[in-house]
């Protein structure tokens, strides 16, 4: 899962995007829509996957991007 990213809500209420295996978030956002847009951009650029988590931490959806999209 080298090219996988996760969008999740932090305990402080902010939303973050973190690459799979990373200790720290790639970027933090004040709202979910900003985190989603950034996560999609990163996953699309690397033909990867984007896991979107609900506020409770469960995976809500998985978006997969392939080359040429």
pLDDT at 1: 61
Q: What's the confidence (pLDDT) of residue 67?
A: 78
Which pTM value belongs to this model?
0.90
Please give the chain's pLDDT, 69 residues, in tens: 679 999 999 999 999 999 999 999 999 999 999 999 999 999 999 999 999 999 999 999 999 998 764
Contact 49, 24 (CB under 8 A): no
Domain ranges of the chain: 4-64
């Amino acid at each position: 899962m080298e090219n996988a990213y996760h969008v999740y809500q932090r305990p402080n209420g902010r939303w973050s995007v973190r690459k799979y295996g990373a200790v720290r978030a790639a970027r933090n956002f004040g709202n979910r829509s900003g985190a989603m847009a950034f996560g999609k951009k990163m996953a699309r650029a690397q033909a990867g996957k984007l896991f979107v988590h609900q506020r409770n931490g469960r995976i809500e959806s998985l978006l997969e991007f392939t080359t040429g999209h």
